[in-house]
Amino acid sequence: MPRPQYQSKLLSLTASALLLFTLASCSDHQNNVTAGNLSGTLHWGNSTEPQSLDPHIATGVPEHHIISALMEGLIYKDGETLEPRPGVAKSWDISEDGRVYTFYLRENARWSNGDPHNAHDYVWSWWRALQPALGNLYAYMYFPIENAKAYYEGEISDFDQVGVKAIDDFTLQVRLANPTPYFLQLLDHYSLFPVHRATVEKFGTADQRGTRWTYEGNMVGNGAFQLKEWKINRRITVERNPYYWGADNVGLNQVVFYPTENVTTEERMFRAGQLHYSGVPSDKIATYREANNPALRIQPYLGTYFYRFNVDTPQLQDKRVRRALAMTINRDQLVTQILKGGQFPAYAITPPGTMGYYPESDLKFDPQAARQLMAEAGYPNGEGFPTTEILYNTSEGHRKIAVAIQQMWKKYLNIDVTLLNQEWKVYLDTVSNHHYEMARAGWIGDYVDPNNFLDMFLCNGGNNRTNWCNPEYDRLILEQAPTAKSHAERLTIFAQAEKILLEDMPVIPIYVYTSNNLVHPSVKNFGRNILNQANYREMHLQPESAQEASQ
Amino acid sequence: MKASSQSTEQHSSLWLDAWLKLRKNRLALFGFAVLIILCVVSLLTPWIAPYGYEQQDLMLGATPPSLEHWLGTDIFGRDMLTRIMYGGRVSLMVGFIATAVALVIGILWGAIAGFMGGRVDALMMRIVDILYALPFMIFIVLLMVVFGRNILLLFVAIGAVEWLTMARIVRGQVMALRKQEFIEAAYSMGLSQWAIIRRHIIPNTLGPVIVYTTLTIPSVMLLEAFLSFLGLGIQPPQSSWGLLINYGVETMEEYPWLLIFPSVTLSLTLFALNFLGDGLRDALDPRAAKD
C-alpha cells in the first residue's frame, strides 16, 4: 500500500504556535497519555487524513490503520509472527490440491449494529469489490480466485462462476484458479474485508464511490472497534464494539487517530505526552539513539520507496532515459546522510529476502554509463531535455529526498527538474489519473510474498499508475508463477519478471524502508512485525509503567 | 525660510524638510542604511555569493559555522550564507513588489471612496467588505491555480489581497480630511477633484499609510513562506527567508544555526523597516511641518 510517511505543510509560525500549545498543555499534568492510560484510550499519530474508510476504495497505510480497527477479515495475522489466526472464520480446511478453501464462520459474529454476520456477506462484498465502476485499486488482489479476473474484465458476466460460494449461512467455500501459497494472508487485507450490505445500499448503489456510508454515525463494521467520531483534519475516534465476537478480550476502550501531517509536530506531541505512537523525523533518530530512549523502535519493514515514471510523458518514453535517471541516484548517500534510519539502498522493487526471494539487479550507481545512455537517447549532456516535474505528497521527508535527487540529476546529467507537492488525497488522485511526470511512491507489503510487489505493475493493475504495460510480464506473473511446481521455481519466475521490470524501468527503486516509530512504554502487546501492522485488538495500556517513563 | 516663489518651491520644501528631519533621527537612518545594504547585497548576490545556492555536499551534511562556511551548512551540505543571500532576493522582492501593488490599489481605492462619499463610497466599500469576507488563503490559492505557479504572479496575487485594510485606512483619513477648510479652499480656487486628491488628500494620509506599509511587508514575507510550503510559491532548490526559517524550525534542536541565522536576518530587516517607517511618518507629517 502507498505510504505518505512524513508529512508536513504548516507554516513555521503555526508549528511553533503548536509547540507552544503542546508545551502549555504539558504543564497540565493530565496529558493525553496519562489520561488515556487510565481510561484505556490509545492516542495514535496517524500522519494524515485518510482518503476513504471504504475498504474497497482505500489505499495507503494511514487508511489501513483505521480500517484494521474497524473491520476484520476471515482471518487476521498474528502481531508478532504474522501467522494466520482465526478471525470471523473460526476454522478452515484446505483441499489436497490447495485449490479449495472452506471456511467455517463463527456463529456469534455480529456487525457493530448487532445484525447477524454470515457467509452471504462475503459473497456480496466480494461481488461489490469486483464491480469495475467502484474503481477498486486492489481488484487484482482477487485474481487468485477462480474466474475473478475474467469477471472483473467483463469476459464473463455471471458472478456465480466466480469461485466464491456460501454453502450455508456459516460455511464459505472459495475455489482458486491455482494453488496460492499466500491466499490466507490476502484475507487479512482490507480489499477482501466484508462490508455491511444494508448500510452501503442505504446511502447509494453498491458500486457508487464516495457515498456517506463510511461517515460518522453511518458506518457499520465487524471489527473490534466501531467509528465514534470523525472530525475532518482533527481526529478520528473509534470505540470498543460490544458486538465483536472477541469483545471480552479487547484491551482498549478507544483509539484516537490524529492526522498530523508534519512529523516534527507529531514527534513534539509525543514528547509532550499527547500521543502513544508517532513517527520520528530522520534528524532526531540520532538523539533518541544516544539517549537509549526505549520509545524508539527501528525495525525491518517490508517496503520499498521508489519513483514512478508516467511512461507516456514524451521525454520519459525512452527506457534509456529512465535507466539513466535511475543510475544517477546515489542511494548510499541518501540512506546514510538524509534518511539516517538504517534503511538499505534498493536496486529492485521487491525487498531482498521476501520469502527467500533475492531479486537479481544490474542496476547500480554509474553516472558515466548514464551520461552515455542519455546521449544515445538524444540528450547529450542533458541538452534538449525538457524540464520535468517530480510530484510528492507534502512532507519534509519526501521533500528532502526530492531535493537531493534533483541536485544529483542536475550534477550528473545536467537536466532540470522541478518539484511539486500536493496533499495526500490530492496526490493519490493525481497519480491515479496519470496527471504527473514523475511521482514519489512507497509500497509496503500487504502480505509477505514477492507477488505483492510484482503484481502491482500488471497492465491493468489499479496500483500500477505508470501506463507501463508488458504482456510478457503479465504472463509471467499471472500464468507462470501461480502454476509453478515448487517454491524455488516460483521464485525463478519472479526473478525473470523483475528483470523485465528493471530493464524497462517504469519505476526507480530508491530504498528499502525501515519502520522508525516512537511507541510509549505503557503500550503493551504492541507486536513487532515486518509489515508494521498494528493489532489493536491485542494491545492494552498499563498506567504504572507510564508514570515511571514520564519521570 | 522665505517663500518667495509659489508652488514648485513649496512642494520641494516638504520633501526637503522631511529629509532634514529624517537625518536627525538616528534610528531611522540606521534602518535606512540596513535596508540599503540588504538591497545592494541582494542585487549583487549572483556575483558575490561564496557558493552556488543549489550546490550540495551530502557527505558534509549539516555543520555549524566554520571558516569555510561562515553561517554553517544545512542537511544537504549547502552553504547557509549563500542560501540566506539568495533567499533575501526572493523575500525582499516579494515584500516590496507585493506591498507596492497593495499600496497603489489600496490608496487609490480608499481615496476615491472617501472623497466621493455617498453611493460611490457605499458601493466601493461593500466590494471591499465582500473581498474581506472571502477566506483570503482560498482566494490566493484560486488565483495561483488559475494563473499557474509563476513567481511574478505570486507577488501580484499577494498584493491583490493585501490592499483591503489599506483602502479602509485611507478612506477613514480622507473622510476626516475632506471636511477641512483647506480642501474647501482648494475647491474655491477651482482645482479639479483629481488634483485635490493627488495634491492634498494623499500627502496628508501618508503617515498612517507608511506605518501600515512597514507592517505589510513582513506579513507578506511570511505569507510567501506559507504559500511556498503549500507548493504554490517558489519551489526547491530556490528559497526565501520564510522557507529557510520554516525548515530551520523542524531541526532547531539538532541544528540551531539553521533557524537562528535566517531568523536574525528577517528580524533585522523588519526592525529596519519599522525604524524607517517611524522616522518617515514623523518626517512627512504635514501637520507637524506647520509647527
CATH of the domain at B199: 1.10.3720.10
B13 part of a folded domain: no
Is residue B46 in a domain?
Answer: yes
Helix (H, G, I), strand (E, B) or coil at A510: strand
Nearest chain A residue to B229, by CA: A9
Query: CA nearest B255 in A: which residue?
Result: A283
pLDDT for the residue numbered B231: 64
Looking at the 3D structure of chain B, how many domains does it have? 1
CA angle, A389 then A391 then A393, to 5°: 160
pTM of the model: 0.82
What is the enclosing helix (H) or strand (E) of A257? strand A254-258
Q: What is the mean pLDDT of chain A?
A: 89
- List the 139-198 stretch of B: residues with Cβ below 8 A of A: none
Burial of A192 (0-12, 13-18, 19+ CB in 10 A): buried
Burial of A43 (0-12, 13-18, 19+ CB in 10 A): buried
- Does residue B240 fall inside a structural domain? yes
Q: Give the integer Cα–Cα distance in Å for A340 and A333.
A: 10
Give the number of other CB atoms < 10 A from CB of residue B143: 18
Inter-chain contact B56–A287, Cβ cutoff 8 Å? no
Instruction: Give the pLDDT score at B156.
Output: 75
Please indicate, yes or no, if residue B26 is contained in any of the structural domains: no
* Contact state of B58 with A338 under an 8 Å Cβ cutoff: yes
Q: In terms of residue numbers, what domain contains B65? A: 34-289
User: B245 and chain A: CB distance < 8 Å anywhere?
Assistant: yes
Quick one: which of A216, A200, A211 has its CA closest to A128?
A200
Residue A21: predicted pLDDT: 47
Quick one: pLDDT band at residue B186, thresholds 50, 70, 90?
Answer: confident
Q: Measured between alpha carbons, how far is A514 from A414 in angstroms, rounded to an integer?
A: 32
Alpha-carbon distances, residue B176 vs B114, B117, B119, B169, B201 (angstroms): 9, 11, 18, 11, 10
- Nearest by CB to residue A284, choosing from B59, B242, B254, is B254
Record: contact B247-A396, CB cut-off 8 A: yes
Cis before B237 (ω within 30): yes
DSSP-derived secondary structure letter, A74: S
In a domain, B100, yes or no: yes
- Cell 510550503: give the residue: B229
Name chain A contacts of B237, Cβ cutoff 8 Å: 403, 406-407
In a domain, B10, yes or no: no
With respect to residue B7, please indicate whether it lies within any of the assigned structural domains.
Answer: no
Tell me what pLDDT residue B288 has: 58
Per-residue model confidence (pLDDT) at position B287 = 63
Q: What is the pLDDT of residue B259?
A: 92
- In this predicted model, what pLDDT tens digit does every residue of A112-123 receive, in sequence order? 999 999 999 999
At A193 the pLDDT is 94
d(Cα B230, Cα A491) in Å, to the nearest integer? 44
Residue B11 backbone phi and psi in degrees, to 5: -60, -50
Q: Give the mean model confidence (pLDDT) for residues B128-152.
A: 76
Q: Across the interface, do A422 and B59 touch by the CB < 8 Å criterion? A: no
> Which residue of chain A comes nearest to B246, CA vs CA?
A12
Closest chain B CA to residue A19:
B249
A283 part of contact set with chain B, CB < 8 Å: yes
- Measured between CA atoms, the residue of chain A closest to residue B53 is A407
DSSP A525-546: S----TT----TTT-EE-HHHH
Residue B247 lies in a domain: yes
Whether A11 sits inside 8 A of B255 (CB atoms) is no
**Does the beta-carbon distance from A419 to B235 stay under 8 Å?**
yes
Residues A7, A9, A13, A18: is their CA dihedral positive or negative?
A: negative
Residues 6 or more apart in contact with residue A204 via CB below 8 angstroms: A211, A212, A213
Among the partner-chain residues A15, A411, A420, the one whose CB lies closest to the CB of B249 is A15
> In Å, how far is A326's CA from the nearest CA of chain B?
18
How far is the C-alpha of B170 from the C-alpha of B184, rounded, in Å? 19
Number of residue pairs across A and B with CB atoms under 8 Å? 82
- What is the pLDDT, as a whole number, of residue A27? 46
Residue to mutate among B51, B54, B58, with most A CBs inside 10 A, is B58
Report angle CA A252, A258, A263 to the nearest 5 degrees.
Answer: 125
Q: Are A513 and A343 in contact (CB under 8 A)?
A: yes
Closest chain B residue to the Cα of A284, Cα to Cα: B254
Instruction: With a cut of 50, list the residues of chain A below it in pLDDT.
Output: 5-28, 545-551
Give the tens place of pLDDT for each residue, B226-253: 777 666 777 778 888 888 888 888 888 8
